[in-house]
């Protein structure tokens, strides 16, 4: 073989490997686009979930404040009735019993709110962790020796 034939073979080999490299790069770009799209979808779903949780927490907080206000009003009415009728219990006793029941329900709502607030995440935690894992995987893939 002469040098011209060797040069032609080298050009053909370059032409054959170039589309493979281009298709590989296109595949990587498509995979990155797909991954980014999936990450955005995950973050949106996670924020929607946390938004629904925040809405239920707000409703429970409003309900707890209303019940606490009613409880305090009943306790004040009961105290006034107790002072008015020192000897008899019918009016203030019924007010105290009702105030105690409302106070127990209010306490239950505050415990529920505390538990929900501890589980509430302002940032999309799972999405952030997934992105970190993806970045770690991409770094390992890039730095790993290939055949």
Q: Is residue 81 part of a domain?
A: yes
CB 127 within 8 A of CB 49: no
Rounded average pLDDT over 84-107: 74
The residue assigned the tokens 């929900």 is 116
Q: Is residue 18 part of a domain?
A: no
Compute the distance between CA of residue 130 and CA of residue 53 in angstroms, rounded to an integer: 22
Q: Is residue 92 part of a domain?
A: yes
Q: Which two tokens stand for residue 110?
A: 């505050």
Most confident stretch, 57-71, 74-88, 126-140: 57-71
Q: How many domains does the chain have?
A: 1
Percent of the chain with pLDDT over 90: 14
Mean pLDDT value across the chain: 79
Compute the distance between CA of residue 120 and CA of residue 19 in angstroms, rounded to an integer: 50
Q: Is residue 79 part of a domain?
A: yes
CB 106 within 8 A of CB 75: no
Compute the distance between CA of residue 91 and CA of residue 79 in angstroms, rounded to an integer: 10
Compute the distance between CA of residue 43 and CA of residue 127 in angstroms, rounded to an integer: 6
End-to-end C-alpha distance for the chain, whole angstroms: 30
Q: Is residue 115 part of a domain?
A: yes
Q: Is residue 15 part of a domain?
A: no
Neighbours of 128 (CB within 10 A): 14
Q: Is residue 13 part of a domain?
A: no
Q: Please give the residue range of the domain that contains residue 54.
A: 35-143
The residue assigned the tokens 């709110």 is 113
Q: Is residue 10 part of a domain?
A: no
The model's pLDDT over 31-56, given as tens digits with 9 standing for 90+, comes to 888 888 888 888 888 888 888 888 99
Q: Which two tokens stand for residue 75?
A: 């306790």
Helix (H) or strand (E) holding 134: helix 125-143
Rounded average pLDDT over 123-145: 79
């Amino acid at each position: 073989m002469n040098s011209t034939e060797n040069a032609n073979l080298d050009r053909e080999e370059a032409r054959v490997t170039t589309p493979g490299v281009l298709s590989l790069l296109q595949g990587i770009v498509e995979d990155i686009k797909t991954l980014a799209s999936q990450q955005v979808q995950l973050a949106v779903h996670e924020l929607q979930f946390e938004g629904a949780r925040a809405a239920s927490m707000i409703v429970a907080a409003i309900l707890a404040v209303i019940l606490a206000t009613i409880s305090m009003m009943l306790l004040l009415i009961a105290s006034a009735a107790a002072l008015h009728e020192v000897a008899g219990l019918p009016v203030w006793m019924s007010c105290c019993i009702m105030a105690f029941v409302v106070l127990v329900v209010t306490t239950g709502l505050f415990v529920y709110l505390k538990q929900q607030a501890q589980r509430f995440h302002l940032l999309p935690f799972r999405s952030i962790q997934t992105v970190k894992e993806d970045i770690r995987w991409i770094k390992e893939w890039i730095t790993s020796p290939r055949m």
